[in-house]
Amino acid sequence: MPNVRFKVAFETCEPNCNGIDKVDFMFSANPGLPLSPLAEIASGGEKSRVMLAIKSIFSAVDGTNLLVFDEIDSGVSGSASACIAKLLNKISRYRQVFCVTHQPLIAANADHHFSFKKIVERGKTSSNLKKLDEIEDRKLELASLAGGELMEALAYAASLLEHRAA
């Protein structure tokens, strides 16, 4: 997000169960637009990227060894997904990162890849978690995430894994 401006605004308020300060994250993603409360104006993808930025900054100083991101890439484009993948990779050099994603660009960058499926049998739902150790299994899962025609999705998945290895 090349034109982002971000500011934390503190305002004293009457003491309540949340403390004595009102804190607002002020945000503007576009030149010429004023800072406004993040919660009111940011898209889902912008909120995800701001949260990732904040978590990456604090993880460097708070001693956290494990970071869990549940669809931190929700609502972002392919180019933003690539940036998120790079930042997650950078964070993972010093911290354990666990990331739930539906983005093949992000999943392809993982050191360890798992597939999680919900299965309904005879009206009962169960979950299946499978570690994908083999490159072919990872390729099939990435192709499934990418959707589209099977051959095109498989070619895309293969190129993601090749790019990661380069």
pLDDT single digits (tens) 107-160: 999 999 999 999 999 999 999 999 999 999 999 999 988 886 778 888 888 888
How far apart (Å, rounded) are the C-alpha atoms in residues 97 and 106? Answer: 12
pLDDT given at position 139: 92
Q: What is the pTM of this model?
A: 0.72
Helical H runs in the chain? 38-41, 44-59, 78-92, 104-107, 135-146, 150-165
Q: What is the pLDDT of residues 79-92, one digit of tens each?
A: 888 888 988 998 89
- The structure tokens listed for 160 are 């993601």
Q: Distance between terminal CA atoms of the chain?
A: 26
Q: Break the chain into its structural domains and give their ranges.
A: 1-42, 62-166
Residue 45: what residue type?
G
